[in-house]
Amino acid sequence: MAIRDSRGVDVEVDELKVINTSEGVTTALVGNRMQVKLDISGLTTENNPTNSLDYTVSYDTSAGVHKKVRLNNVPAGATNAEVPSNSIIITTPGPYVYNKSPGVKALCVQCIGAGGGGGSARKSPTTVATSGGTGGGGGSWIEAWLDGASVPSSVSCDIGAGGLGGASVTVDSTDGNPGSVGGNTSFGTLLLAFGGNFGLGGITGAASRPGAAARLGMRSSGGGGNSDSGLTGGTGGSPTYAPAGGGGGGSNSTTTDRGGGNGGYPTWVLTAASVALGGVGGAVPTNGASASDRSDGTPAAGGGGGGSSRTLGVTAGSGGNGGTPGGGGGGGGNAANGLGNTGAGGNGGNGGLVIIEFF
């Protein structure tokens, strides 16, 4: 059975039961941050004479059952019953110890790997077609629903650090530097989300320079944008509900500079506002925009690629940083020998850990 949550994402559950109710239940949906909310305006006192506020949630974890939700003792006359919960969102990279709250009956845990860093561009003569740096990939995303009794009282976790972007190239006729891989995010030994792949440094030649590959996971991330000699940087990959990739850096042909590509964005909200989450690619020769961080722990967008430069004394645009959690960094823009330095790659966003306790 699919239940649509407030993000517009269909969540598969095997069974949803509401105990001690009449047939007045008209709507069932899983709300934002996976809190369960029900329209139970049709309840009568006969179904719950004590008007108890003692909700309980249980999960059937037997073989072959993915998620089974049970609500007990829903109060009579209520218009919305919300399972009491506590959300913990951690995006600071490094070790973290989760201490389970007293009375937890179930947990929803989401791990998001850190984004990969974008590559920097090659520095070449104006007569040679050269690619910019390519965008870093977004980190992977994984989720699990766990029986509270099966989770230890404390769990050692780790939040991945965003991959660093490739350094700017200052020496003539030198290839760009690759970014670095984003760090993994883990919840004990139970869940592991891999960090995003790194963007490649720019090279000489008209061949396409591919962006970082997407990371596979429960929901695969967006890959980084490519950089083709003589073309605007490619747009970062835009997955449905996972971190997005950074945009490719601007290249040059033998005659023309190009701007950077836009960072990708998670498409779970198909509105103009969601498009704005991706960092805008820099025009010639400006920096790509960094993507916004997501304080609610939802997957972030990728940074924009930097624009190239063939102007004396002007450094090419650097890639924008990926948003936290998990967005890939943008690639840096190309520069010509004797004129200026190439743009650096943008850093990937840090990983994230979301723990929702149900009581």
Whether residues 33 and 90 share a domain: the answer is no
Whether residues 45 and 96 share a domain: the answer is no
Whether residues 198 and 67 share a domain: the answer is no
Is the distance from CB of 260 to CB of 319 less than 8 angstroms?
yes
pLDDT of residue 82: 53
Whether residues 201 and 53 share a domain: the answer is no
How far apart CA 122 and CA 171 sit, in angstroms, is 9
> Which one of 55, 83, 111 terminates a domain?
83
> Which one of 37, 63, 83 terminates a domain?
83
Find the range with the poorest average confidence among 133-137, 261-265, 267-271, 304-308: 267-271
How far apart CA 107 and CA 185 sit, in angstroms, is 17
pLDDT of residue 278: 78
> Which one of 83, 105, 132 terminates a domain?
83
pLDDT above 70: residue 85 = yes
Place of tokens 């709507």: 27
Whether residues 16 and 92 share a domain: the answer is no
What residues does 257 pair with on adjacent strands? 252
Whether residues 256 and 234 share a domain: the answer is yes
pLDDT of residue 350: 98
Whether residues 234 and 329 share a domain: the answer is yes
Tokens representing residue 89 in the block: 């969102």
Give residues with Cβ within 8 angstroms of 79, minimum separation 6.
Answer: 39, 40, 41
Question: What mean pLDDT comes out for the span 46-57?
Answer: 34
Nearest to 185 by CA among 109, 294, 290, 291: 109
Most distant pair of Cα atoms in the chain: their distance: 85
| pLDDT-derived band at 269, boundaries 50, 70, 90 | low
Whether residues 75 and 91 share a domain: the answer is no
pLDDT of residue 46: 32
Tokens representing residue 194 in the block: 């891999």
The number of distinct structural domains making up the chain is: 2
Give residues with Cβ within 8 angstroms of 171, minimum separation 6.
Answer: 123
DSSP code, position 281: P
Whether residues 336 and 246 share a domain: the answer is yes
DSSP 40-53: -TT--GGG-TT---
Top-confidence range, 3-12, 44-53, 210-219, 257-266: 257-266
Whether residues 286 and 341 share a domain: the answer is yes
pLDDT above 50: residue 16 = no
AA identity, residue 214: A
Whether residues 31 and 157 share a domain: the answer is no
Whether residues 228 and 343 share a domain: the answer is yes
pLDDT of residue 197: 95
- Domain around 336: 85-359
